[in-house]
Structure 1
Amino acid sequence: MSVLAVCRMLRPLLFLAALAVPCQAVAQAREVVRIGVLAFQGVDAAVGEWRPMIAGLNTALPAMDFELLQFDHDGLRRAVAAREVDFVLTNPGHYVELEAEFGVARIVTLASARAPSAERAVGSAVVVDAGRSELNRLEDLAGRRVAVVGREGFGGYQLVWRELLRTGIDPGRDFAALIEVGFPMDGVLDAVANGRADAGIVRACLLEGDPVRAARFKVLSVRAEADFPCATSTPLYPDWPVATLRHTPPALAKAVAIALLAMPADEAGMAWNVPADYQSVHELFRELQIGPYAYLREPTLSALAERYWPTVAVVLAALLGWVLYTVRVEHLVHARTAELREALAQREALEARMRANQEQADHLARLSVLGELSGTLAHELNQPLAGIGNYASSLLRRADNGRLTDDAVREAAAEIGTQAERAAGILARIRAFARKRVAQREVHVPAAIVADAVALLQGMLAHAPRVEIVDHLAAGTRVDVDALQCQQVLLNLLKNGVDAMSTLPHPEQVLSVTLGQHGTSVSIAVRDVGCGLDDEGMARLFEAFHTTKADGLGLGLSICKRIAEAHGGRLLAARAEPPPGMVFTLILPAHE
């Protein structure tokens, strides 16, 4: 037995030992791990798109040498059948086909920054020349020439096929021609541009990456998909998975899954998540009766005659076998569907519990902020209450001395009312901020959210520092957010700034809040002139349970970062320029 064969046999043990055994002791070369990828945009584009993933795996698992092999649909299927690859990276439709035929199993799902979630990431766009005013809806494609990558293309044909059938258009019957151009997908756009086709089907977001293309073409029947930045003619489906094959060692699959899940997002915003639910893809294939559900297609009499022409006996036997097979598979499908529904119900219940726990955590975080500020609350309320007491005593003295006049009564009553409203306003803001409630997004003016957070801070601090608000936003700028959660983030940032300046004389303490445009988003920057942070503090700034305060829990900034990301935004931190101080910037998507 060769040395390389011995290394291959020991590979699972090497991974279980955390790659502690040096491979040089068994073989001179590192073990090669081959990842087959569907190169729908061509070989060069595939190499560029997935290079960060390969580099990250080679760094995380130095005992292995990961290689990326590019294929089309048929080539990747043949490679899986021949065991020429150890992992596959392909679109959701192709994965479901490989899963049914070869038993591949997904271990992670791609998470794109531009997609709302891993379950809602892939769509298709039907594009036509921008000057074709007569083509605006999918129904207008009847009798037209349509270019596609191929009939097996998931985002390049099958998603639109389903929507066309729902509008009453059968591509095989109602198109003037269905033109298959093959990979790369850019060939579809070329066919439309040169007049070879009236329309083309491409993956959503292919146009948005190129301004020239975006101006050259338009998308038919654009759907309103929440938080999805690209024009799509279809609903959204799960993103691409990485899947293992039956011959892939479980230890290797586990090590790769852990490495991918731990891998940070690359420059394009792509990261990896736990495996998504691909039930929507199964429902698509079942409705189209393709892939693993091709058996649901009822054969026509002419097809039966052509296939089973040798003898009537063969036809009857085949028909009987097909009926028995269909009944059994239908039973298995129903049983599996019931299991999937039960699993989905359990998952939804778990997600509901997680949401409830997160709302509880947010509530506790707000109460924590109020707890830190509550020491000065009594002093702040004492001023209006003292004013009320003084005016009431003045009325009693005037009455005892016989000098009580109507003007004096009205003046005292007005001041008592003013001071009472002031105290009630302070308590109302605190009560609204502290109450437990379900997150609810609405359209708000950013400046109003900032003003409420500043008012809440100043209403609770006896000697609040001066807060300067600078608004550079255009009139009419709005954000679609949960206002209370955003106030929670801003109040945390303002409170941290107050704590950072606690050693400065009060006249020198100043906070500035600047509202501005950050690309297509809104930025809210909170700056203090405090002591700032060292390198270690900057590195662990958003780490849960890390704090520089003696009585802090270390959850404030961690929760604020999660709230920002849940709104599709970010929370950034940097040292102030010029120093001293820190600048925390909350970035939120602008409402269109």
Structure 2
Amino acid sequence: MNLKKLLSTFLWVLILVISVPCLAYEGLTVKIGYAQGLELYHQSSILKETLEYLQKKIPNYRFELLPISSVDTQEDIKKEKIDFLIAPSNFFVELSGGIPFTHLATRIFDGTKDPAKTVGSTFVVRAERNDIQSIKDLRGKNCAASLPDSLGGWLAALGEIKEHGFDPDNFFKTKNFTQFQVPDVLNSVLSGSSDVGILSTCILEEAEALGMIEKGSLRVINKKTDDLSPIHCARSTQLYSDMSFVSLQGVPEPLVREVTVALLSMPVFDHSRWSVENDQYSIRKLLRELRLGPYSYLRDNSLTGLAKRYKTEIIAFVGILLFLIFNEFNLRRLVNKRTRQLSDALKAKEEADREAAEERKKFATLEKNGIIAQLGTIIAHEAKQPIATLTNYLQIFKMYLDRKNDNDAFSKDVFENMENQVSRLNTLVNSVRNFAKQKQNPQIKTDLVLITQKAIRSLEATEPDIEKVKISFNSKLKTALVLADPFSLELLILNLLRNGAQEAVSNTAKGSPILKVELSLSNDNKSFILLVENSGNLMTDKDLSRLVSLGESVKPDGLGLGLSIIRGIADLHGADLGFTGRDKGGVIASLRIDQLHV
């Protein structure tokens, strides 16, 4: 029960609140403004009948008509506190954006095919003016019109002139604005003061019907032959919407609703009635083409006017320009960045190539020295015994000749020369052997991890087919210190890697060539074990024995010098070098070298 009372009270309060604006207006004066330039004839036929009908249908209010200046429109509306406004449709196009309003109704001619298009202009000249037959003939003539802001009495005519390709601003020689079409414009043409007059649609027919002028005394120029004209009135231009009735901001909604209903229910008056039809687009288009009203800025060729006229294009251009500038700077930044990166990469590559070249040169020299040392050792070792034998035979032969007392001067000279040459050859052999022994570099503290990594990098830099091989290096040791000659040890590891890589590339039957390198500590923690494992052909016991043998190669065209070199380097470092076969094909080379305890 309490809830029902509460809801009932709330509804009554709501109704009271809604009714307050209407009650505040009830019994008060409602001010209806009208454009001051409206011709007297229209004022009597439209304003008077509309005002009387509103007063009849809505008796609770007193309706009052007030003239509004076409110059100080907004000031007059605010000053007079206008509630409703009646004016030509172009008037509201110019007013839009200045004062908020709501369109209620537009005057149309009853029975027309297009009610939204009812007003236009009519060019009239005296009937005897045979020199004027078209709009082109009106150029340079004297013109009479009502007001410069009249839609039917001037603006529509300018639009037609422009549509025919002429400049409406400089089309007529003189322009005489008389304020009223009837009788001022008619009298100006008939008296000869003006060559042509501009009338709103149906003004000519109404003046003739009222007997104000003799029928046929005026002739219409550029007469349209279609049947769109209201009640078949003559016209020279296209048609536009007629006068509109609008409510201004602040008028209570109930009052607006009552006025709207009254206007739309008002019977036909003077062949006209109020309707909701309205065509603002064609009027806006006309004013834009004529650069008038809200489009008058199009006539301004100053920087401000041009900026306002081409605001959208300028914003778009500036936006595109800023985008292009930003894009240019961004491209330059990216190009500079990429150039620096490329330059750095090229420098790094050049540096790597230079280091690789130096390393190759060092290794080539070391390898050549190793080969020379090995060859010198072999030659010296093998030549030592033949030289000793040759010396012994010379001594025996000399003793034989001494016994026979056959020591002539020539024989003695020959034996001395032979002894000298054999002694010289023996000295040369001993020099080679001593050179081979004295050419070794001193052994120092060396990190086997770093040496192995360096050998892998050298292999990658020097072998053309190394990209085909999948190389992996596995070491759980961060450092592995040994006592060694770094270059010799690196040459040893590099030879193992190169031989393994070449075998993997040449003889791997299935899958990618594999080259695995693993470094670990022996179980007794006294030495390091380096394993180099590569894929390839299955190795027989004979092949493995050839690898172990000094001076033999498993390659068809190999000389075995590489194996001799790495075995010699291993021996110099007290390291053990061995080879075993892989189950899937290939070889595992192992190098065991003593750990350096610091």
Name which one, 1 or 2, has greater alpha-carbon Rg.
2
TM-score, length of structure 2 as denominator length = 0.45
TM-score, length of structure 1 as denominator length = 0.46
